[in-house]
Structure 1
Amino acid sequence: MTFRLRAARADDLEPLYEMAKLTGGGFTNLPPDRNALGAKLERAGTAFANEADELADEQFVLVLENSETGAIRGTCQLMTQVGQRWPFYSYRLNTLTQYSQELDRTVRAELLSLVTDLEGSSEVGGLFLHPNERAGGLGLLLARSRYLFIKMHRARFADRVLAELRGIIDERGGSPFWDGVAGRFFGMNFQEADYFNAINGNQFIADLMPKHPVYVAMLDDEARSVIGVPHPTGRAAMRMLENEGFRFEGYVDIFDGGPTMTARTDEVKSVAEAEARTVASLDCDKGERAIIATGNLATFRACFGARALGEDGSIAIDSVTADVLGVGVGDKVWSVTR
């Protein structure tokens, strides 16, 4: 059974909706709402059709497809420039140090400050893999194929890229961070705020959120304990991001307190190491395992495969990969070692 990642189409709406119902909340980029998902696919279709090779406010949606059955089993997204339609808010965790000469005492207080520091960055997000397919490295394929897409369309992305990880959600579907911080000002629970944000955007944050820093020491224990902590299902994703060169620099999500990871785009491992080569052979069944991609924008496709790199700048790939990607000798593919 072979899977490939490809550009999403309008007719992927229903399988995306069915997957969205499985996320369990706190997953803003994949809301269980047909209208919102339809609008997302329409926006992605416009981005895929735009051939202008320049940075703009766009969103690309990719889907993981079983190449034999056509079933959609996962998805991921790329946002080229966040904070253009409405502000991109984060909390920044920092420290205020104060000294009293009379007491000869230094006091350090941790603060959460509402910032828009990450505005203008690109974002990789919306990664979701169907629970029945969480084996065989398909999450890795979803995550790292996004970086091949960035490398193949580099001018369409900013010089900094971020990834937001879902924070801690309790058994009731609530967020200890939301309850301890923002929820005190909005008169709605986490699920209501999360859903409203997914459908309507976060302008209501700008309208109602206090602009003064929040002293972490004044929060309850439950809220403090989850600041910058990923949801248990996101720990593997955090490790993959760290392996790519992303780092946690104190930015957390304003809703659930989950960590926001950042990196310089050209320093992301899979972006830096991806390279384009011309296919010289389709007889490489025992080659090095790699992620191999081809196409442009709406024709983008990627899958796992075997490769052997030639000294002349060529590449040999296995015949199964060639069939899944629809490429032959003389075609150009991009690849990065698995």
Structure 2
Amino acid sequence: MSSPDRFIVRAARKDDLDQLYEMAKLTGGGFTNLPPDRAALTEKLERSDEAFSKTDGESANDLFLLALENTETGQVRGTAQIFAAVGKRWPFYSYRINTYSQYSQELDRTFSAQILSLTTDYEGASEVGGLFLHPGERAGGLGLLLARSRYLFIAGHRERFGDTVIAELRGVIDESGGSAFWDALAGKFFGMSFNEADEFNAKKGNQFIADLMPKHPIYMDMLPEAARQVIGKPHPSGRAAMRMLEKEGFHFNNYVDIFDGGPTMEAKIDEVKSVAESREARIACTDAQDGTRSLVATGTLKEFRCAYTDIVERGESEIAIPAETANTLSVKPGAQVRHVAR
């Protein structure tokens, strides 16, 4: 296995299509941000290229697609995505879990029930998503590098993003690729399986939800036990991602995905740990040894690059990094970078 220091996170390019497609086939379903469909991935890469190229104008539809590259082999081994603002071009739907209470004077009892209400409460929020690491690279902290690189990108382009950031975690999906939540609720109205709806959403967007989804609140007690058990629960493969989000300051605020019931995590962008604790500095020299293990990012928009390295602080706003890292990031003494301790 290659050293984690040999990996960088960079802007995805159109010529990454073939490698992204091969990775998309490994996601196992329920991963709408990385569909195993060449046309959909091509459109996503084009949209990302447009966002990276834009320096002004409306940011509502901006999608920034990042790629994890092994600099020794040139292979793309992971992806991560940032959406500047959801719900601006088309609605962004969630279910909000609420408690509804009623009192009976005759029985002298209060009855409480949990209900699911269809909302667009997250309109205008930024979103981090699409985090996928190749199964052969799930060691050495590369998932952490991918995840936190997004926050360094946000911090370096703060004006492009909102006040709140969300992350949707994939819900519980069974071995056959089905969802008990979907089958019990939305599947009753759409006449298609979870896999079919998931694929359609990935390729065509979710306007069909607005057309067909029931708008009235749903009493959770009326759902089958199998569906109730998975509401707000992440897929087993997403538990580590949920812990990473919690360490960054995200929390679950009773919003769940309308497809699989997975939890939506939220945070104030300026309170996200990697944003709040990141610092700008100038590279003083490239001879550092035995420093503080950190993430270092450089470049704006298409030139953005982020990697692990050891840094030595030289005063309040200068750092030293190893020569190897300088080569990986394509920086020289005098360059401005943003860093945060691992």
TM-superposition CA deviations, 1:311-335 (whole Å, max 9, x none): 2410111111111001111001111
Pair 1:87-2:72 in alignment = no
Pair 1:126-2:130 in alignment = yes
* Helix, strand or coil at the partner of 1:210: coil
Question: Are the aligned partners of 1:53 and 1:155 in contact in 2 as well (CA < 8 Å)?
Answer: no
Instruction: Within 5 Å, give how 1:201-216 maps onto structure 2.
Output: 201-216=205-220
Aligned to 2:202: 198
Aligned to 1:27: 31
Question: Are the aligned partners of 2:92 and 2:123 in contact in 1 as well (CA < 8 Å)?
Answer: yes
Counterpart-to-counterpart distance in 1, 2:177 and 2:47 = 29
* Helix, strand or coil at the partner of 2:96: strand
TM-score where L is the length of structure 2: 0.98
* Helix, strand or coil at the partner of 1:333: strand
Pair 1:286-2:290 in alignment = yes
TM-superposition CA deviations, 1:190-224 (whole Å, max 9, x none): 00000000000001000001100000000001000
Question: Are the aligned partners of 1:165 and 1:260 in contact in 2 as well (CA < 8 Å)?
Answer: yes
Aligned to 1:229: 233
Structure 1 segments unaligned to the other structure (5+ residues): none
In structure 2, the CA distance between the partners of 1:53 and 1:136, relative to structure 1 (3 Å rule), is farther
In the TM superposition, what is the alpha-carbon distance from 1:107 to its structure 2 partner?
0.7
Pair 1:316-2:316 in alignment = no
Correspondence for 1:168 among 172, 175, 182: 172
TM-superposition CA deviations, 1:64-96 (whole Å, max 9, x none): 000111000000000000012210000001100
Counterpart residue type for residue 266 of structure 2: T
Question: Are the aligned partners of 1:92 and 1:250 in contact in 2 as well (CA < 8 Å)?
Answer: yes
Q: How many residues align?
A: 338
Counterpart-to-counterpart distance in 1, 2:303 and 2:317 = 23
In structure 2, the CA distance between the partners of 1:90 and 1:223, relative to structure 1 (3 Å rule), is same
Question: Are the aligned partners of 1:279 and 1:316 in contact in 2 as well (CA < 8 Å)?
Answer: yes
TM-score where L is the length of structure 1: 0.99
TM-superposition CA deviations, 1:41-68 (whole Å, max 9, x none): 0000001110127643200000000011
In structure 2, the CA distance between the partners of 1:167 and 1:96, relative to structure 1 (3 Å rule), is same
Pair 1:37-2:41 in alignment = yes
Instruction: Within 5 Å, give how 1:10-159 maps onto structure 2.
Output: 10-52=14-56, 55-159=59-163
Aligned-pair identity in percent equals 64
Aligned to 1:257: 261
Pair 1:276-2:280 in alignment = yes
* Helix, strand or coil at the partner of 2:310: strand
In structure 2, the CA distance between the partners of 1:112 and 1:312, relative to structure 1 (3 Å rule), is closer
Instruction: Within 5 Å, give how 1:300-311 maps onto structure 2.
Output: 300-311=304-315
TM-superposition CA deviations, 1:235-291 (whole Å, max 9, x none): 000000000000000000000000000000100000111111000011112000000
Counterpart-to-counterpart distance in 2, 1:312 and 1:248 = 36
TM-superposition CA deviations, 1:81-119 (whole Å, max 9, x none): 001221000000110011111110011100000000001
Question: Are the aligned partners of 2:30 and 2:173 in contact in 1 as well (CA < 8 Å)?
Answer: yes
Pair 1:326-2:330 in alignment = yes
